[in-house]
Structure 1
Amino acid sequence: MTMSQNDVQHYAVFTRSARKVVLSGTETEQEAQEAETQEIIIPRPPTFKDVHQQRVHLKQRLAIGFRLLAKYGWDEGVAGHATVRDPEYPDLFWVNRLGQHFGTIKASDLVLLDHEGNIVRGNRLVNKAAFMIHGAVHQARPDAVCAVHTHSIYGKTFSSLGRPLLPITQDACAFYDDHSVYDQFGGVVFDADESHRLVTCLGPRHKAIILQNHGLLTIGDTIEAAFWWFVAMERSCHSQLLAEAASVNGVHDLKVIPDEIARATAKDVGTSRAGFAQAMPMFDIVARENPECLL
Structure 2
Amino acid sequence: MTSTLNMPKSELVKQSQQLMEKTQAAPTWSTREKLALTCRILFDAGHDSGLAGQITARASATDTYYTQQLGLGFDEISASNLLLVDQDLNRLEGEGMPNPANRFHTWVYREHPAVNCIIHTHPFYAATLSMLEEPLVVSHMDTCPLFDDCAFLGNWPGIPVGNEEGVLISQALGNKRTLLLAHHGLLVTGKSVEEALMLAHLIERAAKMQLTAMAAGAIQPIDPALAREAHGWISTEKRYQAFFSYYARRALRSHPDCLN
- TM normalised by structure 2 equals 0.88
- How far 1:263 moved relative to its partner? 1.4
Question: Does residue 249 of structure 2 align to residue 288 of structure 1?
Answer: no
2:67 alignment partner AA = V
- Whether the 8 Å CA contact 2:46–2:124 is kept in 1: the answer is no
- 1:21 corresponds in structure 2 to none
2:181 alignment partner AA = L
- Whether the 8 Å CA contact 1:165–1:172 is kept in 2: the answer is no
- How far 1:11 moved relative to its partner? 4.6
Question: Does residue 117 of structure 2 align to residue 111 of structure 1?
Answer: no
Equivalences for residues 130-141 of structure 1 within 5 A:
131-141=102-112
Deviations for 1:139-171, whole angstroms, at most 9, x for unmatched residues?
Answer: 111111111111100011111233322231002
- 1:275 corresponds in structure 2 to 240
Question: Does residue 68 of structure 2 align to residue 96 of structure 1?
Answer: yes
What RMSD in Å do the two structures reach over aligned CA positions?
2.2
Question: Does residue 32 of structure 2 align to residue 45 of structure 1?
Answer: no
- 2:152 corresponds in structure 1 to 181
- 1:145 corresponds in structure 2 to 116
Select the residue among 166, 169, 175 that pairs with 1:195. Answer: 166
- Whether the 8 Å CA contact 1:182–1:210 is kept in 2: the answer is yes
Shift in alpha-carbon separation, 1:273–1:202, aligned structure 2, 3 A: farther
In 2: Cα distance, 1:8 partner to 1:105 partner: 39
2:34 alignment partner AA = R
Select the residue among 73, 77, 85 that pairs with 2:50. Answer: 77
- 1:163 corresponds in structure 2 to 134
- Whether the 8 Å CA contact 1:95–1:113 is kept in 2: the answer is yes
In 1: Cα distance, 2:201 partner to 2:69 partner: 22
Equivalences for residues 203-222 of structure 1 within 5 A:
203=174, 205-222=175-192
- How far 1:58 moved relative to its partner? 0.8
- Whether the 8 Å CA contact 2:64–2:84 is kept in 1: the answer is yes
Q: Runs of at least 4 residues of structure 1 off by over 6 A?
A: none
In 2: Cα distance, 1:290 partner to 1:12 partner: 34
Deviations for 1:27-63, whole angstroms, at most 9, x for unmatched residues?
Answer: xxxxxxxxxxxxx96224357xxxxxxxx71101111
Question: Does residue 203 of structure 2 align to residue 233 of structure 1?
Answer: yes
- How far 1:291 moved relative to its partner? 2.4
2:86 alignment partner AA = D
Largest Rg, 1 or 2: 1
1:268 alignment partner AA = W
Question: Does residue 193 of structure 2 align to residue 223 of structure 1?
Answer: yes
| SS of 2:80 mapped into structure 1 | helix
Select the residue among 35, 38, 55 that pairs with 1:65. Answer: 38
Select the residue among 227, 231, 255 that pairs with 1:262. Answer: 227
1:121 alignment partner AA = E
Greater RCO structure (CA 8 Å; 6+ sep): 2
1:80 alignment partner AA = G
How many residues are matched?
249
Question: Does residue 225 of structure 2 align to residue 244 of structure 1?
Answer: no
Shift in alpha-carbon separation, 1:286–1:12, aligned structure 2, 3 A: farther
| SS of 1:117 mapped into structure 2 | coil
- Whether the 8 Å CA contact 1:8–1:42 is kept in 2: the answer is no
Shift in alpha-carbon separation, 1:59–1:189, aligned structure 2, 3 A: same
Shift in alpha-carbon separation, 1:7–1:115, aligned structure 2, 3 A: farther
In 1: Cα distance, 2:131 partner to 2:229 partner: 29
| Farther-moved stretch of structure 1 (273-282 vs 214-223) | 273-282
Deviations for 1:218-264, whole angstroms, at most 9, x for unmatched residues?
Answer: 111111111110011000000010001011xxxxx222111111112
| SS of 2:180 mapped into structure 1 | strand
